[in-house]
Chain A
Amino acid sequence: MLEIITSILVRTVVAGTPLLLGTLGEVISERAGILNLGVEGMMSLGAATGFIVTFTTGNPWLGLMAATIAGALISVIHAFVTVSLRANQVVSGLALTMLGLGLSGLWGKPYIGRPLTTKMHAIRIPVLSDIPVIGKVLFYQDPYFYLSVALGILVWFLMKHTKVGITVRSVGENPKAAETLGINVARVKYLCVMAGGAFAGMAGAHLSTAYSKSWIEGMTSGRGWIVIALTIFALWEPSRAFVGAYVFGGIFVIQYVLQPLGISPNLLAMLPYATTLGVLLFYGMSKKGKRRMSAPATLGEPYIRGSR
């Protein structure tokens, strides 16, 4: 029994890792007032790039780097169109998703069905990994897990306790005031969107080089969209992103746990999506939740210098 629980928890953490990375990125972007619905596309591009580079160089770290850069680069399109051209953020994000899915499919096609021979080895942390259950779950994981946790703590610290965080939040809450304080609003927005892209790229690389070690089209299967829901669930707080990511990681795993019970796999596959709706509904229904669900004040609005 203990072994089963351990194995479920281990897989939960693994499944939660890309969700955590993606959510952290979206939190940064949305805190600066830019809604980026392109996560699914950026993640998919990261998955393809990460896989291709790992496959050709044999080095998964290079794959991770390439995926991060690819995610950041493609997100520049969204930054340019929404910040410089003040275009509608919803439409631009959708376009980015289509482009990312298309490019990854186009470039990744020759690699479909080819297994990865090299992978990142799990790192065993001495002593701590010997603790029953927790040891295996938290201290004997692949490097992505440690990376995502470290980045999560970093983002939380930056956002909550440093001037960087105040700058980013002021740009999202009141860009006019930020501008008078001498902050370059456009630059902050660009950087935050690119950080979001980089995180989504990493999340994608995790899927193709650590989670499944293969590339197929559409392998992100809606995780990019769940990330956007998780950002709301996290109330734009990096610390709450951890909770959301692992809860949803667990839901991805529970499908496979319940399958032997004879429930249709198709109905089980609805679980992550239905839960997403359920959580948002729960928030929306409770009066307290509705009030707290308030996004950064200027989320989704273009900022026009010198206006108002």
Chain B
Amino acid sequence: MTVTILPREKTSALFNALILFGSLLAGLVAVGVVFLAKGINPFFAIGEIFTASFGSAFGFQETLTKAIPLILIGSGLALAYRAKFWNIGAESQLLLGAVFATWIGLKFGPGLPAWAILPLMFLAGFIGGGLWGLIPAIFKVKFGINEVISTLMLNYIAAEFVKFLVVGPWKGETKYGYPYTDDLPTQAILKHLGSTRISLLMLVIAVCTALVLAFLVYRTRFGYEIRVIGENPEAGRYAGIDFFRTSLIMMFISGGVAGLAGVGELSSIHHHLSYPETISAGYGFTAIIVAWLGRLNPGFSILSGLFFAGIIVGGDAIQMSMGLPATTVNVFNGLILIFLITGDFLLNHRVRFQRRVL
């Protein structure tokens, strides 16, 4: 028997959706196998994950809360990945956003009204994340340094920097030795919707960012340039695209929106800067799959962000009820990502099995 693989030219939307759904399902089956190997009933565990995240009003509130940073970061990553710029540094771009916003909030917050301090914090957070995102872009275009490594190294550096701040110079005077900064003044804190932990403003910002970035990718010259850089850099050079300029702007935006997510986590959830793993529950990494599941369309990251927020919330729930470690979510993420790229193969190729003719 021979196996022939041919490229598939066109795919219908239905086939696309079927493959996507099939990939997710296969990923869940694989997760089930892992649970089974650990002696956990997979139907119970996976069922528990989805009932905890989408099955109750409280669960869904938490899912929405966690979807906000995922949508923001995921749409920003989709932008970068379109240009085949593998930004793995959203985790630290988020942190730098939170650091900049903390500084503005603590320094100018007490003297300013909410309508002035909040926009300033968002601006500072965007700039903080954006500047941190510029570093790997400059490194790559000017010096040919692999961005996966540089963004990862910057993650570790930023995490240590935040730890240094909260146990050292920025340690709160009112915090009795805990590794926190002082709390932001009330006017620098985002209000929640009713008794939930959702900031309506953040939710609107997240959804709008995703839509604006989708518009940017598909409807503007800048988006066209990004796609050309990703799909056919040679053609891009002929067309006179300024790689340096385009990459810089793109990474400033990609890092900037991750910075906005940092402002949200700081101002809506924590109210002070603390250890990096507290500020971000691995959002920068989970958002990589959010972007991929959304087919690198920033708009779709609204849906895929919601889905993975559900997995985080459900993961937290079974972690507590079944005594599983926090990193269980990584098993989910890894397996689903593997099946998503497997699905891409089926989407782009026809596989024919033929009996060998003698």
Contact = CB atoms under 8 A, between A and B. Distances in A.
A99 B335 contact: yes
Contact of B34 (A103, A104, A273, A281): A103
Given A81-B342, A87-B342, A103-B34, A274 B157 contact: yes
B242 interface: no
Given A106-B325, A280-B149, A85 B345 contact: yes
Interface stretch (A64-72, A89-97, A159-167): A89-97
B241 interface: no
A280 B146 CA distance: 9
Interface string B308-335: 0000000000000001111111111111
Interface stretch (B51-59, B161-169, B184-192, B193-201): B161-169
B318 to A, nearest CB: 12
A88 interface: yes
Interface string A91-124: 1101111111111111101000000000000000
A264 B164 contact: yes
**B contact face: mostly helix, strand, loop, or mixed:** helix
Nearest to A276: B153
B150 A217 contact: no
B150 A277 contact: yes
* Residue of A97, A217, A270, A274 with highest tally of chain B CB at under 10 A: A270
A109 B149 contact: no
A99 to B, nearest CB: 3
A266 B327 contact: no
B328 A105 contact: yes
A106 B152 contact: no
Contacts of A37: 148
Interface residues of B, number: 47
A87 B341 contact: yes
A99 B334 contact: yes
A99 B326 CA distance: 13
A94 B148 CA distance: 10
Interface string A43-83: 00000000000000000000000000000000001000100
Contacts of A273: 153-154, 156-157, 160
B325 A97 contact: no
B215 to A, nearest CB: 25
A277 B88 CA distance: 15
A290 interface: yes
B177 interface: no
A155 B145 CA distance: 26
B270 to A, nearest CB: 19
Contacts of A264: 164, 168
**A contact face: mostly helix, strand, loop, or mixed:** helix
A107 B150 contact: no
A285 interface: yes
Interface residues of A, number: 49
Nearest to B81: A91
A185 B131 CA distance: 43
Given A88-B341, A284-B142, A293-B144, A266 B161 contact: yes
A281 to B, nearest CB: 6
A229 interface: yes
A269 interface: yes
Contacts of B342: 81, 85, 87
Nearest to B88: A94
Contacts of B116: none
B285 interface: yes
A274 B153 contact: yes
Contacts of A95: 333-335, 337-338, 341
Interface of B: 34, 38, 86, 88, 139, 142-146, 148-150, 152-154, 156-157, 160-161, 163-164, 167-168, 285, 288, 292, 323-335, 337-338, 341-342, 344-345, 349
21 contacts: A85-B342, A91-B337, A94-B88, A95-B335, A101-B330, A102-B328, A102-B330, A102-B332, A105-B330, A106-B325, A109-B323, A228-B148, A229-B153, A266-B164, A270-B161, A277-B145, A277-B150, A280-B146, A280-B150, A281-B143, A285-B143
Given A98-B331, A99-B335, A264-B164, 8 more contacts: A100-B334, A102-B328, A102-B330, A105-B327, A264-B168, A270-B161, A273-B154, A280-B145
